[in-house]
């Protein structure tokens, strides 16, 4: 089993008399990319701030690489990199000078490591240009470069795709997959872009009203939310819908979606065959992460 890098146990946080987090627990293992999703105000950013020690924990524990952040903060945070929304960059300096400035904060970051990170994030050709000339996507990659200079094994990103165009999002996605697979980092990423998260996260954690409602593998979350949805391919979907009734939805002329328990599928097929309909294929209809999210949260949309 892969090593547990981050473990949050029963985190509670209140501001004045309002309880923001209500017993949040989650884990990240080596190589995980965990999508942390929930409606606005659900507690995502507060959870991240507690993990990073930016806010005080009322009760519960955050353990990073075996160190409790309350009692061994420096050791716990030593191998963590983070970007909260947009990275802090000096626009009038070159990308390389920005990295060299951050490198001075760490005792063992050499020029060799700086060049290694530049290659890793794919900025070799533009690293000596001023950051003011960078696209938003390039700035985000430079921000990730800053965050991983000291070779962390946990990377935390809060809304990293905000403002990025499709090309910038694609580049960031490729970079995060590379970091998890080649650098064996655990990555926690909070984002409203569920379609994008679905393309590269292997695990999902859903938070609603300060409480975790689901933590599982991405495929498991989608499969569980899809339970009872099937698509039947046949020669006349319109006529089939008249036979099956309200438990079905017409997708097109040859595809009918039905909402039933798996055990009832043979009876539906028998009914259709007895009406001389030709059945070609039956498949389980796996819904998207966005639809699974809406189902798990009772229709709470991500604004």
**Is the four-CA dihedral 266, 271, 276, 280 of positive or negative sign?**
negative
Residue 226: the pLDDT is 60
Q: pLDDT tens across 258-279, in order?
A: 888 888 888 888 888 988 888 8
CB-based burial label for 95 (10 Å; 0-12, 13-18, 19+): buried
pTM score, two decimals?
0.80
Task: Using the 3D structure, point to which of 223, 238, 272 is the last residue of a domain.
Answer: 223
Q: Tell me, what CATH number does 254's domain have?
A: 3.30.70
Tell me which of 177, 192, 223 is where a domain ends: 223
Least confident range of 14-23, 56-65, 72-81, 90-99: 14-23
| Per-residue pLDDT reduced to its tens digit, 27-70 | 999 999 999 988 888 889 999 999 999 999 999 999 999 999 99
Please tell me the total count of domains within the chain.
2
CA atoms within 13 A on the CB side of 162: 13
What pLDDT digit, counting tens, does each position of 190-227 carry? Answer: 887 787 888 888 898 889 899 998 887 877 777 776 66
Residue 263 has a pLDDT of: 83
Higher pLDDT, 228 or 77: 77
Domain that holds residue 279: 228-286
Domain boundary at 223, 239, 272, which?
A: 223
């Amino acid at each position: 089993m892969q090593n547990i890098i981050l473990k949050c146990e029963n985190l509670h946080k209140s501001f004045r008399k309002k309880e923001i987090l209500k017993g949040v627990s989650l884990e990240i293992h080596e190589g995980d990319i965990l999508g942390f999703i929930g409606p606005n105000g659900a507690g995502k950013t507060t959870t991240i701030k507690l993990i990073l020690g930016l806010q005080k924990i009322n009760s519960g524990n955050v353990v990073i690489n075996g160190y409790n952040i309350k009692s061994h903060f420096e050791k716990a945070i030593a191998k963590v990199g983070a970007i909260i929304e947009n990275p802090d960059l000096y626009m009038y300096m070159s990308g390389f000078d920005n990295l060299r400035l951050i490198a001075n904060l760490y005792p063992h970051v050499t020029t060799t490591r700086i060049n290694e990170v530049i290659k890793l994030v794919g900025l070799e050709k533009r690293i000596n240009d001023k950051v003011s000339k960078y696209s938003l996507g390039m700035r985000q990659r430079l921000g990730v470069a800053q965050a991983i200079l000291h070779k962390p094994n946990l990377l935390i990103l809060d809304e990293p795709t905000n403002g990025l165009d499709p090309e910038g999002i694609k580049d960031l996605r490729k970079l995060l997959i590379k970091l998890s697979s080649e650098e064996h980092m655990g990555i926690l990423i909070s984002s409203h872009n569920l379609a994008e998260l679905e393309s590269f996260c292997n695990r999902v954690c859903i938070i609603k009203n300060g409480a975790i409602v689901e933590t599982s593998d991405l495929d498991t979350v989608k499969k569980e939310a899809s339970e009872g949805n099937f698509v039947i391919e046949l020669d006349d979907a319109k006529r089939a819908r008249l036979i099956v009734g309200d438990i079905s939805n017409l997708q097109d002329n040859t595809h009918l979606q039905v909402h039933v328990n798996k055990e009832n599928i043979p009876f539906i097929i028998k009914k259709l065959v007895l009406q001389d309909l030709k059945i070609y294929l039956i498949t389980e209809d796996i819904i998207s992460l966005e639809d699974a999210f809406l189902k798990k949260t009772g229709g709470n949309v991500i604004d």
